A and B are shown apart, each in its own frame.
Chain A
Amino acid sequence: MIAIGHWLALSAMVFTLGLCGVMMRRNVILVMMSIEIMLNAANLALVAFNKYQLPAADGTVAPDGQVLVFFTIAVAAAEVAVALAIAMLLFRRLDTVSVDDVANLRW
């Protein structure tokens, strides 16, 4: 029997993987991919919550979790569009895709 705990454990593991990717990877593209992984981990948790939610008094189940996931996907798509454009410009201007080389905004 798969309980909500399993789903959440999986979600946490995927999230941690993504986080590690964000912190360890230097390549901008891979950092972005890692962010996507984190977002998907959150999505997984959301649909899991929706599935295991208790029905209301009239026996219906509200699709709140599913709807939130759609929002997340839409926002993620927009974010990727912007981020890829930034990555393109970075590469054109500085000839690099490594985040460590782009550290001009400092004290």
Chain B
Amino acid sequence: MNWLILLLPLGAAFLITCFTQKSKALSAAISLAAVWGAFGIAASHLPEVLHGEGHFVVADSFRWLSAGDTSFRYGYLIDGLSLIMLLVVLGVGGLIHVYSLGYMHDDPGFSRFFACLSLFMFSMLGIVLADNFFQVFIHWELVGVSSYLLIGFYFRKDSAAAAANKAFLTNRVGDFGFMLGILMLFYATKSWVAPGSGAGDFRAMAAAISSPGWLEQAAMSIGGGRWVMTNEHFLWIAGALTFMGVMGKSAQFPLHVWLPDAMEGPTPVSALIHAATMVAAGVFLLARIFFVYLPSETALSLIAHIGCFTAFFAATIATTQNDIKRILAFSTLSQLGYMVMAMGLGGVDASMFHLTTHAFFKALLFLGAGSVIHAVHTNDIREMGGLLKKMPITGWTFLIGTLALCGVPPLSGFWSKDGILHLSQHPPHYAHDWMITTLPTITAVLTSYYMFRLVFQTFFGRPRDHHRYDHAHESPASMWMPMAVLCVLAIIGGQLIGSPSTLEAFRTVTRPAGVMEYEPIHADEHTILHALLIFGLGAGAAFAAYGPGRWISPGRILALPGMRGVHALFDNRWYVDDFYAWIVKNIQQNVARACNAFDQYVIIGFVVNGGAWLTRASGAVVARWQTGSVRAYALLFLAGVAALLALKL
């Protein structure tokens, strides 16, 4: 039965691709049935998790292939952690499927779109369900491929094709490190895992790492034991390499560059893979393999700092963007930074909690943005304005999503984000520095600022482009209904999980064994005031600059000394993309030229053509001996025998 969670989306993708391309209705029906069917199966486990005693685990696997005494298995592992992820992926994904019915309605590639969506769901679910590293890696790459298909869905547009390439290649960089990390972990734990368990099995590997004496054992030694590397050091390198994969998929600095460009895909795709699922895969993986990082404070500190920096960095960029989807993309980057940082600080449950609520409200915001784009046919917020009157449902749900993202009590974002902020203000000793304690709070202020900058320009004030404004209209029911459902989740999702009793249940199901405890969030006056203060600062600044009154014009702030440089820095995304472009142009291209020259002159010119030349030349010489004269052959034969005899004697 549980296998169906994986097989339904795969089967749907297969059926649509092979048989029902012609029929839009049938393709959509198959895809929707698959995702909601899988959701039903996953949800049927929910009572067991919430009310069951001890740790809930369902698992099954079969041998996929074996090499020597190593067997690779393919299976599923459903425990509390993966079940929550399943429900988020399938629930939010399912709503986005429904939304796509309306959004993609007139697209000629309607069936292809649903086939790609189903393939993506299959890939993603494989990561969530995987019980070993190698299966994760396979699905990790499958997610890369299917996101490539979805981002490049409008493949006739050059920018979309380029964005798809960029996403794929950037992820490849991370995946290379990921693969190295997996192989290192496999190598170091190989002789310690229980016999009979598949290669890279999470549970066997976790047991091996936590078994006494493993950390001190030498992983490798060079020069007859003169230079010995213990498993402890080996583990932190492997952990950092594995984290590279997370950096790619969850778009952490410096591998974040693909995500904003990936907005070239259709908006439901942005909502699905850049809010709720694909980017969350990295965070989920961190939780899944937390046993790797647990013994290594160096690795945890690295993760915390990268996450923290990404959160701040992306938030600053979001303050200067004008493309509605790009602002949301950078906001996603920023929130993912929070989650990764929380992982690094040991707050696995806080991170997973934020992942869940973020999936609700960020999907809602993306769907709202899609609805706006659908109505006014532009992405530029400077050409919008006053849309709240025209599109009340979209406007109000978007506003609620924004408030949730800003962490306004009692919406869902407050519960999860404040947990993370609290964690960052009381960090563990290995990450106790100014960066971790101050940047997340500043980021939260920036979040309110850029989100309200977006809201004020889009939904309030006077319309700036009357032609677009006049044609704007509310979206069809298939589009606003999923938004309404997500809106409800964005409001109550926090209390559902965040109330003390269920929060405790959530903690126990998501927290891997051995993770440090942290103070639970109490919604007391202090926390609420703190959250409101952060929100007020950011939203107030946005109101002053972009609200109906426009008290401070942005131009006057820009005129302040030094502001122009800061603005340029943010507007150009801290020049990271330019830096990469520079590297590609000046270093990568030159290396490529050198390689090409080596190939042309040494490989082709010398080795390949040289071999051919040698054969031809020696052939030309030896061919002369083939005179056709029988008597000459006889003489040569005699000479040969004589030579042999002479040698022998």
Interface residues, chain A, with chain B CB atoms under 8 Å away: 19, 22-24, 26, 31, 99-100, 102-107
Contacts and interface: CB of A to CB of B under 8 A. Distances in A.
14 contacts: A19-B638, A22-B631, A23-B634, A23-B635, A24-B631, A99-B629, A99-B631, A103-B629, A103-B630, A106-B626, A106-B628, A107-B623, A107-B626, A107-B627
B620 to A, nearest CB: 9
A23 B637 CA distance: 11
Contact of B627 (A19, A24, A103): A103
**Interface range, B side:** 10 to 19
A19 B639 CA distance: 12
B638 A99 contact: no
A104 B628 contact: yes
B631 A23 contact: yes
Nearest to A19: B638
A97 B127 CA distance: 84
A23 B638 contact: yes
Interface string B210-249: 0000000000000000000000000000000000000000
Nearest to B619: A107
Given A23-B634, A23-B638, A107-B627, 16 more contacts: A19-B634, A22-B634, A23-B631, A26-B631, A99-B629, A99-B630, A99-B631, A100-B629, A100-B631, A103-B629, A103-B630, A104-B628, A105-B628, A106-B626, A106-B627, A107-B623
Contacts of B629: 99-100, 103, 106
A103 B638 contact: no
A71 B628 CA distance: 31
B639 to A, nearest CB: 11
Nearest to A107: B623
Contacts of B630: 31, 99, 102-103
A24 B638 CA distance: 13
Closest 5 CB pairs of A and B: A106-B628, A103-B628, A107-B623, A107-B626, A99-B630
Interface of B: 623-624, 626-631, 634-635, 638
Nearest to A22: B634
Nearest to B629: A103
A24 B635 CA distance: 10
Contacts of A99: 629-631
Contacts of A104: 628
Contacts of A107: 623-624, 626-627
Nearest to A103: B628
A99 B626 CA distance: 15
Nearest to A25: B631
A82 B256 CA distance: 83
B113 to A, nearest CB: 67
A26 to B, nearest CB: 8
Contacts of A24: 631
A57 B174 CA distance: 83
A31 B631 CA distance: 9
A26 B630 CA distance: 9
Contacts of A22: 631, 634
A26 B629 CA distance: 10
A13 B624 CA distance: 33
A34 to B, nearest CB: 10
A48 B630 CA distance: 32
A102 B627 CA distance: 11
A23 B639 CA distance: 12
B623 to A, nearest CB: 4
A105 B623 CA distance: 11
Nearest to A100: B629
B594 to A, nearest CB: 44
Contacts of B631: 22-24, 26, 99-100
A22 B630 CA distance: 9
A103 B635 CA distance: 15
A3 to B, nearest CB: 22
Contacts of B623: 107
A24 B630 CA distance: 11
Contacts of B634: 19, 22-23
Contacts of B628: 103-106
Nearest to A34: B634
A49 B630 CA distance: 32
A62 to B, nearest CB: 26
A102 B631 CA distance: 11
B413 to A, nearest CB: 87
A18 to B, nearest CB: 11
A19 B636 CA distance: 12
Contacts of B635: 23
Contacts of B627: 103, 106-107
Contacts of A100: 629, 631
B496 to A, nearest CB: 90
B43 to A, nearest CB: 82
B636 to A, nearest CB: 11
A44 B635 CA distance: 24
B125 to A, nearest CB: 69
Residue in B623, B626, B634 with the greatest tally of chain A CB atoms within 10 Å: B634
A23 B630 CA distance: 8
A56 to B, nearest CB: 28
Residue in A26, A104, A107 with the greatest tally of chain B CB atoms within 10 Å: A107
A22 B629 CA distance: 12
